[in-house]
């Protein structure tokens, strides 16, 4: 028979509890106009992450200060398995268009409200006049800027009219005996659905890293912000702090970006321009420089660092522009 060696604190240890999370169990956090997120159940806390890690790393660290250091080390170096020992079960009400993005994260257990079995939820997400966004000229799947107030009022009125008409048609189909599975097919994507969503902490943090990002769609970002700041921050405060420091509010540099930083620090404009041309980061159109997306992202990172940008002023020089392809 194989001997089982429990990790420190395993034997006879009661379930790890979070008083802060226990205090909000079942409490709905409002999102959008009629959506919500609430905690149904959870497994593990910061202590569970540490306990799981010590199976690998032994009993060398025991104090709370060292617990924090261990969790930060694990997240900083992408040792993800200990974070998978914590799980969170949420009850969600979310618009279907938002849910389509959510369900793309295929690392959770899901049970969704069935409009084949039950009548669809009689609620649709409505857009306030000041919340209509313009299409981004640079990002085909993103938005940038806002529609003017008068256009917004017209769009909101048209939206309500469309939603009300679709609901009437749906209700009439049900009254005439059409099967629920078929009657539902013309309901708008703004219709709310509900689901139970259970996910481990590692995959939840990845979800939040993507969906709290400013480039994520505004609607799903509201859900991610509530889950992160109202729930995860209470549940695993040390892991949440590390996530903010090393993932959410950090940045990465590619090979090209590291070389650009080196060239900027060296101060040799000729080498810098040669590198920009070799990597095809700049083209010339109608006598003006056109920056590749990767270069734009790098300059945005420089701005975030508070570093000076010598690249764009350099590209205003006619002798420099001749070195880039049209």
- The C-alpha atoms of residue 150 and residue 155 are separated, in whole angstroms, by 9
Active site residue 211: yes
* The CATH number fitting domain 19-118+193-248, selected from 3.40.50.2300, 3.20.20.70, 3.30.1360.170, 3.30.2080.10: 3.30.1360.170
Note whether 305 and 279 are within 8 A (CB).
no
Note whether 20 and 231 are within 8 A (CB).
no
The three-class DSSP label of residue 279 is coil
* Angle, helices 201-211/218-226, rounded to nearest 10 degrees: 140
Catalytic-labelled residue, pool 68, 93, 167, 211: 211
* Number of other residues whose CB lies within 10 A of the CB of residue 325: 8
- Domain positions in the chain are 19-118+193-248, 129-186, 255-321
What pLDDT tens digit does each residue of the chain (326 aa) get?
334 344 444 555 567 899 999 999 999 999 999 999 999 999 999 999 999 998 765 555 556 668 999 999 999 999 999 999 999 999 999 999 999 999 999 999 999 999 999 999 999 999 999 999 999 887 778 888 899 999 999 999 999 999 999 999 999 999 999 999 999 999 999 999 999 999 999 999 999 999 999 989 999 999 999 999 999 999 999 999 999 999 999 999 999 999 999 999 998 999 999 999 999 999 999 989 999 999 999 999 999 888 878 899 999 999 999 999 98
């Amino acid at each position: 028979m194989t001997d089982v060696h429990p990790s420190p604190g395993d034997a006879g240890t009661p379930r790890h509890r979070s008083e802060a999370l226990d205090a909000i169990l079942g409490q709905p956090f409002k999102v959008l106009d009629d959506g919500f997120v609430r905690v149904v159940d959870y497994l593990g806390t910061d202590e569970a992450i540490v306990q799981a890690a010590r199976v690998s790393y032994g009993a060398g660290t025991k104090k709370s200060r060292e617990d924090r250091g261990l969790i930060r080390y694990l997240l900083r170096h992408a040792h993800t398995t200990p974070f998978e020992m914590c799980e969170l079960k949420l009850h969600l009400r979310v618009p279907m268009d938002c849910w389509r993005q959510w369900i793309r994260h295929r690392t959770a257990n899901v049970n969704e409200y069935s409009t084949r079995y039950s009548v669809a939820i009689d609620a649709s997400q409505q857009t306030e006049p000041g919340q209509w966004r313009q299409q981004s000229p640079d990002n085909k799947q993103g938005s940038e800027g806002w529609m003017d107030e008068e256009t917004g009022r017209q769009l909101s009125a048209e939206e309500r009219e469309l939603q009300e008409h679709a609901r009437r048609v749906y209700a009439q189909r049900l009254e005439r005996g059409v099967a629920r599975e078929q009657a539902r097919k013309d309901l708008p994507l703004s219709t709310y659905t509900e689901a139970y969503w259970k996910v481990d902490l590692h995959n939840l943090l990845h979800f939040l890293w993507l969906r709290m990002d400013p480039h994520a769609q505004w609607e799903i970002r509201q859900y991610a912000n509530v889950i992160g700041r109202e729930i995860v921050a209470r549940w695993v405060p040390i892991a949440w702090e590390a996530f903010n420091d090393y993932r959410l509010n950090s940045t990465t540099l590619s090979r090209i970006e590291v070389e650009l930083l080196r060239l900027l620090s060296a101060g040799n404009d000729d080498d810098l321009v040669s590198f920009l041309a070799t990597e095809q980061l700049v083209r010339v159109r109608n006598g003006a420089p056109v920056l590749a997306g990767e270069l734009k992202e790098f300059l945005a990172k420089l701005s975030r660092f508070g570093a000076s940008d010598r690249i764009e002023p350099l590209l205003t020089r006619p002798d420099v522009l001749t070195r880039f392809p049209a």
